[in-house]
Amino acid sequence: MKGRSGYFRRKQFSRLMLVLCGIATACVILVLILILGYTLVNGVSYLSLDFITQPSKPVGEVGGGMRDDIYGTFILVGLASLIALPVGMMTGIFLAAFAGPKAASAIRFAADILAGVPSIIVGVFAYAILVRPMHSYSALSAGVALAIIMIPVVARTAEESLRLVPNSQREAALALGINRWRITLGVIVPGAVTGIVTGIMLAVARIAGETAPLIFTALGSAFGVQGLTQPIGALPLQIYRYALSPYTDWQQQAWAAAFLLVILVLGINVIVRLVSSRRSK
């Protein structure tokens, strides 16, 4: 009899925990839906073709868009990727294929710490090494700051995906008398390409929304994109600025920009999912 009641109690407990897990999951999804819904409701009314194709206008003038800031965001993400992809990829390859176990764990630790550095500190760092010596806020310094945030993410995801390639492949290639670096480039990297691309896209999504480092580096620009050594606008910066402004028109625009940014990041994530699910078929 005792055994039976114990069984009953365990079963009840299991059911309770299942319900709690369900509630926790629902909370996570609810937050996402709230964010999407809130930006959608507040932002979509202002969103129009003009918003994407028109430059910003001074206070008081009706209309105006965020063309330059959208353009700026793409430039900054492109710049950061240009720096971070080669560096991050090669670090990942080195970690997965060439570093000894001790060196690898040291580098991995360093990369994890770098990934954990608050982004505002990365911004201050870029300010100190680039903005001050060059006497100007610039797109370049912002690109570098974003690249610093991106590198450890790319390196670690690249390493993880390279490690997932079975060792038997490496051995089979070795037994064919192929050099280590050709094995890495010809067998291991192609086998890990889905994971690497996923990592890169997630890193891009992450830096596209970074604001803090841009305050110290990109600054924002009222005159459009003027070159890499000049201040440049970006979507998150403009959201920050417009949302805090006292003008309702600007606040409206901030909502619209927020919605746009969310859609952009969401879009990248959806593409990642599509690519990786198609590759794994």
Partner 1 sequence: MIKNILGQNVRDEVADNITGGRMHPEKCKLTVEDLDAWYGSKQVIQQVSMGIGAQHITALIGPSGCGKSTFIRCLNRMHEVAEGGRVTGRVFMDGYDIYAPQVDPVAVRRRIGMVFQKASVFPTMSIFGNVASGISLTRFWSRRRDLKDVVERSLRKAALWEEVKDKLDQPGASLSGGQQQRLCIARAIAIEPEVILMDEPCSALDPISTLRIEELMLELKKDYTVVIVTHNMQQAARVSDWTGFMLLGQLVEYAPTKEVFTVPKDKRTEDYITGRFG
Taking the complex as a whole, the smallest distance from the CB of residue 222 to partner 1 amounts, in Å, to 49
Which of the residues 46 through 75 are near partner 1 (CB under 8 A)?
none
Counting contacts by CB under 8 A, is residue 183 touching partner 1?
yes
Smallest distance, partner 1 to C-beta of residue 92, A: 18
Among 2, 177, 246, 278, binds partner 1 (CB under 8 A): 177
The answer to whether residues 71 and 225 touch, using CB atoms and an 8 Å cutoff, is yes
Using rule CB under 8 A, residue 171 touches partner 1: yes
Give the residue with the Cβ less far from partner 1, 248 or 280: 280
Which of 9, 15, 132, 182 lies at the binding interface for partner 1 (CB under 8 A)? 182
Nearer to partner 1, 44 or 178 (CB): 178
Q: Which is nearer to partner 1, 3 or 101 (CB)?
A: 101
Q: Are the C-beta atoms of residues 108 and 85 closer than 8 Å to each other? A: no
| CA dist 275 → 171, 194, 196, 199, 280 (Å) | 29, 8, 11, 12, 9
The reply to whether 197 sits near partner 1 by the rule CB under 8 A is no
CB of 145 to partner 1, least distance (A): 36
Q: What three-state secondary structure class fits 219? A: strand
Q: Does 280 sit near partner 1 (CB under 8 A)? A: no
Examine residue 208 and tell whether it contacts partner 1 (CB under 8 A): no
Q: What are the tokens at 149? A: 């945030």
- Tokens at residue 13, please? 């407990």
For residue 72, give the nearest of 146, 140, 139 by alpha carbon: 139
Task: Please provide the size of the chain in residues.
Answer: 281
In three-state secondary structure terms, 241 is: helix
Q: Does 179 bind partner 1 (CB under 8 A)?
A: yes
* Distance from C-alpha of 173 to C-alpha of 183, rounded to nearest angstrom: 6
Residue keyed to tokens 């890193």: 203
Contact 142, 76 (CB under 8 A): yes
Shortest distance, position 194 Cβ to partner 1, whole Å:
10
Residues that bind partner 1 (CB under 8 A): 166, 168-169, 171-179, 182-183, 186-187, 190-191, 193
